[in-house]
């Protein structure tokens, strides 16, 4: 395992130490602010690296608008067979070389980084059997950096301490607040997506929606249970990354929503309204409302195709 | 060993996956691909699943990709063609 994990330790600790070096003149070498911001910086760096992937995904979502009639046809054709429906949908995406889904690999790729940070921070907090603090150096976090990090505090709580691993009341309070922030940001991010960001067709399957609703409330609980084992530094990392996700999603839902989602319709209506106003100013005539309704124009071609296909059979 | 893998996958499908929006670019999804690959091919299935996960990346176009081609499905599509 070492040959996989050591480069990760080096990466995580190297980034933290580098940012720490850059921030030392501002906040001081031993300041907890420097250390906390170093962790925040790590998040920002990773998320910036991931932005191109995100943009790519958004672009293929936008390309989907052209496929809307075909997608609606598939949905109507396989109304009762959800499996067949998603199978045909995937075929359609592949044919047109566009796929709005995020893909599985990136999250799995992020997990080792999270694990490495966890190990690096836990190393700081390591103790001998007798209870004497004996920090373990991992990657570039060694020497004076290690000693400084072992003493660094975040609102009075040592960044290497966890809720269960400490008797300090400050640590307990800070971890509880961070766990709360972590759960709250996850909850709002998911809710925002469920309410506004997802195509409406998903709500046709009640069981899945029901399950999703349960998870929406259950997940914060799971976080709370696992969060008590995490050092403050990891909780800072997690909360920051959640804030980033939320902000990114907010921006996309507002500016570039998934076709078919409530947010998409909202935006379309807003745009139509704007166009209407502009046209009115230009030509002085009111446009026929039939032409401006996005729902009607979108549905009409799909409905016309349907009977044709049935006749062929 | 197979059972352990299948247990982990079904735990993921039941408890973890529903909490997030659908993200897999393939049909069937990576997790159900992994489940059928492992239950049919054992150790080879594990590598098939890993390879599938690597293919489910931002640059792939996804599509329909079964670990084991279901018989029923072939019949269905051939009827559709005729």
Sign (positive or negative) of CA dihedral A15, A18, A22, A23: positive
How far apart, in Å, are the Cα atoms of B4 and each of A195, A307, B64?
36, 49, 27
Residue A157, phi then psi, degrees to nearest 5: -105, 135
How far apart, in Å, are the Cα atoms of A60 and each of A65, A126, A259?
9, 46, 11
Q: What is the pLDDT of residue A298?
A: 45
Q: How far is A206 from chain B (nearest CA, A)?
A: 13
Spatial distance between the Cα atoms of A234 and A225, rounded to a whole number of angstroms:
15
Residue A42: is its pLDDT beyond 50?
Answer: yes
Q: What is the pLDDT of residue A211?
A: 65
Chain segment A278-294, per-residue pLDDT in tens = 887 776 555 555 554 44
Could you tell me the residue range of the domain that residue B6 belongs to?
Answer: 2-81
Q: How many independent structural domains does chain B possess? A: 1
Does the structure's ipTM exceed the value 0.90?
no
Cβ proximity of A138 and A132 under 8 Å: no
Chain segment A293-305, per-residue pLDDT in tens = 444 444 444 445 5
pTM score, whole prediction: 0.73
**What would the two tokens of residue B9 be?**
């996958």
The residue of A53, A54, A91, A94 whose CB has the most chain B CBs within 10 angstroms, and thus the best one to mutate to test that interface, is: A94
Q: Which residues on A lie below 8 Å from B23 (Cβ)? A: 101-104, 107
Residue A139: is its pLDDT beyond 90?
Answer: no
Which pLDDT band, with edges at 50, 70 and 90, does B70 fall under? low
């Amino acid at each position: 395992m070492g040959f996989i994990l050591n480069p990760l330790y080096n990466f995580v600790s190297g980034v933290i130490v580098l940012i720490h070096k850059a921030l030392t003149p501002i906040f001081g070498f031993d300041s907890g602010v420097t250390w906390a911001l170093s962790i925040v910086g790590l998040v920002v760096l990773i998320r910036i690296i991931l932005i191109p992937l995100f943009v790519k995904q958004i672009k293929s979502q936008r390309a989907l608008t052209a496929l809307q009639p075909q997608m609606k046809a598939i949905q109507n054709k396989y109304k009762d067979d959800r499996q067949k429906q998603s199978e045909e949908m995937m075929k359609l995406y592949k044919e047109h070389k566009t796929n709005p889904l995020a893909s599985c690999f990136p999250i799995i790729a992020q997990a080792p980084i999270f694990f490495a940070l966890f190990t690096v921070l836990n190393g700081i907090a390591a103790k001998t059997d007798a209870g004497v603090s004996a920090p373990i150096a991992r990657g570039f976090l060694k020497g004076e950096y290690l000693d400084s990090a072992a003493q660094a505090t975040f609102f009075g709580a040592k960044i290497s301490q966890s809720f269960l691993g400490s008797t300090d009341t400050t640590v307990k309070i800070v971890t509880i607040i961070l766990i709360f922030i972590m759960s709250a940001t996850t909850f709002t991010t998911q809710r925002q997506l469920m309410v506004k960001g997802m195509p409406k067709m998903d709500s046709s399957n009640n069981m899945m929606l029901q399950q999703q609703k349960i998870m929406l409330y259950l997940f914060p609980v799971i976080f709370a249970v696992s969060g008590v084992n995490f050092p403050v530094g990891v909780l800072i990392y997690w909360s920051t990354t959640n804030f980033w996700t939320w902000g990114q999603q907010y921006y996309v839902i507002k500016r570039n929503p998934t076709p078919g989602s409530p947010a998409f319709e909202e935006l379309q209506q807003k745009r139509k309204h704007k166009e209407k106003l502009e046209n009115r100013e230009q030509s002085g005539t009111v446009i026929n409302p039939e032409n401006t309704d996005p729902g009607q124009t979108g549905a009409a071609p799909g409905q016309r195709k349907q009977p044709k296909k049935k006749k062929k059979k | 060993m197979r059972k352990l893998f299948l247990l982990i996958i079904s735990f993921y499908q039941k408890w973890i996956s529903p909490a997030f929006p659908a993200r897999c670019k393939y049909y069937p999804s990576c997790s159900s691909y992994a489940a059928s690959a492992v239950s049919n091919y054992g150790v080879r299935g594990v590598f098939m699943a890993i390879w599938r996960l690597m293919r489910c990346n931002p640059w792939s176009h996804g599509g329909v990709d079964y670990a084991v081609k279901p018989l029923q499905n072939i019949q269905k599509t051939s009827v559709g063609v005729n």
